[in-house]
Amino acid sequence: MGSYFENVYADKVVLITGHTGFKGSWLSLWLKELGAKVIGYSLEPPTKPNLFEAINLKDKVTHIVGDVRNEVYLTSIFKKFQPEFVFHLAAQSLVRLSYKLPKLTYETNVIGTVNVLEAVRKTESVRVCVVITSDKCYENIEWIYGYRETDPVGGYDPYSSSKGCAELVISAYRRSFFNPKDYGKTHNVALSSVRAGNVIGGGDWGEDRLIPDCVRALSKRETVIIRNPSAIRPWQYVLEPLSGYLLLGALMYKDGTRYNDAWNFGPNEESIITVEELVKLVIKHWGNGNYTMDISKHPHEAAFLKLDISKARALIGWKPIYDIYKAVEKTISWYLNFYNGMQKEMLYEFTVREIVEYINSMGIKYG
Ligand SMILES: NC(=O)c1ccc[n+]([C@@H]2O[C@H](COP(=O)([O-])OP(=O)(O)OC[C@H]3O[C@@H](n4cnc5c(N)ncnc54)[C@H](O)[C@@H]3O)[C@@H](O)[C@H]2O)c1
């Protein structure tokens, strides 16, 4: 896999926060396959089961259990391993939990981001820092148009607003400490934030997330219960935003002044479907099962959320590869392997092959 992203990641020290989470595990695996030395810094995996343990990633990366709220320990890890790349994914990532634990959500997502950026400031080796926020960072006015990177950030619930706050922090740090016009003079850091949509893929067991809720029910032959059947979300296969993060990181490494900004990585318009349509697709690929609506009262959730991805298409040549049908097929085939008892090493190989197949479909070239 080394020749992809022009070998930028081969032999580089890459520090990933949130490597025990769903997206962090996929990203760690992909970077490891690209030849990077992956240093993971996170709390223990947030769910049982989880992808990190399901494919035994602990043996393949440097696994450090640490809290992003602990600035001293976090900084000591930066100092010890001297990363050139940082991908910050660690977060309290659940909207519904953020209603129960707003303070923890802000401390993790906002102060945690400040701590990562402080550690970057204090570690001279860092050249590239990509902070993963969310499509939910935008002030959602429930319109049918996709949000652009220049639209105001905000957020109705504590999770969304914490990601909006993180965006403000990143923007302030970029202007105050990592300003592109001072690159190579007062600092050597390219800093970007990335906003992706509702990510689906094998190995997610997050609470109150649609695909995990479906597979939890289907694997026990229970009825899937859905809350907001007509809600529309920018669903995308997990490797889509990750390919965007990696491509962006590689470009930022080569040119430290040109790509330091906010970037949307969402699906094509055709893949933006309702919750109910998605559940029907999941059941079709699972082979059997049914669903019902839960009409009781729930905390506020947006009805519409779309991302405009024109900027990533035009300026870095990124584009979505899998449509929603392929994304669901790939996602469910991973879970079927897991629930059919595939051994860890085989599941690891299968997961790597999913990345290779995705790369082969990308036909990427950048620059
Ligand atoms: N999954 C999605 O659909 C989606 C969509 C948009 C944005 N995001 C963002 O992408 C990132 C990764 O999401 P995910 O789906 O992998 O989430 P996840 O919940 O599966 O993983 C979260 C990770 O953060 C770690 N973590 C949580 N609190 C921590 C703390 N205080 N200190 C250190 N580590 C901590 C967990 O241990 C885990 O490794 C998050 O920033 C999330 O907000 C996810």
Question: Which position has the token pair 């909006």?
Answer: 164
Of the candidates 193, 222, 56, 205, which has an alpha carbon nearest to the alpha carbon of residue 135?
193
Residues 207-233, mean pLDDT to the nearest whole number = 94
Sequence spans of domains, the chain: 4-362
Ligand 1 closest atom vs CA 199:
3
Gap from CA of 181 to ligand 1 centroid (Å):
32
Tens-place pLDDT, residues 286-339: 999 999 998 777 777 776 788 999 999 999 999 999 999 999 999 999 999 999
Gap from CA of 133 to ligand 1 centroid (Å):
9
Of the candidates 75, 138, 132, 126, which has an alpha carbon nearest to the alpha carbon of residue 109?
132
235 in ligand 1 pocket by Cβ < 6 Å?
no
Q: How does residue 366 score in pLDDT terms, banded at 50, 70 and 90?
A: very low
Q: Over pLDDT 70: what percentage of the chain?
A: 98
CB-CB contact of 317 with 265 (8 Å): no
Distance between the two ends of the chain, CA-based, in angstroms?
A: 19
Per-residue pLDDT for 116 more than 80? yes
Q: Would you state the pLDDT for residue 365?
A: 55
Per-residue pLDDT for 345 more than 90? yes
199 in ligand 1 pocket by Cβ < 6 Å?
yes
Q: Would you state the pLDDT for residue 5?
A: 86
Dist CA 2 CA 10 (whole Å) = 7
Residues 259-288, mean pLDDT to the nearest whole number = 94
Closest C-alpha residue for ligand 1 atom 34: 42
134 in ligand 1 pocket by Cβ < 6 Å?
yes
Q: How does residue 121 score in pLDDT terms, banded at 50, 70 and 90?
A: very high
Ligand 1 closest atom vs CA 19:
39
Tens-place pLDDT, residues 142-170: 888 999 999 999 999 999 999 999 999 99
Q: Over pLDDT 90: what percentage of the chain?
A: 88
Residue 157 contacts by C-beta under 8 Å, 6 or more apart in sequence? 95, 98, 99, 299, 300
Q: How does residue 364 score in pLDDT terms, banded at 50, 70 and 90?
A: low
Q: Which CATH architecture has domain 4-362?
A: 3-Layer(aba) Sandwich (3.40)
68 in ligand 1 pocket by Cβ < 6 Å?
yes
53 in ligand 1 pocket by Cβ < 6 Å?
no
Q: What rounded mean pLDDT belongs to the chain?
A: 95
Gap from CA of 312 to ligand 1 centroid (Å):
23
Tens-place pLDDT, residues 40-88: 999 999 999 999 999 999 999 999 999 999 999 999 999 999 999 999 9
Per-residue pLDDT for 16 more than 60? yes
Q: Would you state the pLDDT for residue 299?
A: 76
Tens-place pLDDT, residues 278-287: 999 999 999 9
Per-residue pLDDT for 228 more than 90? no
Q: How does residue 1 score in pLDDT terms, banded at 50, 70 and 90?
A: low
Q: How does residue 367 score in pLDDT terms, banded at 50, 70 and 90?
A: very low
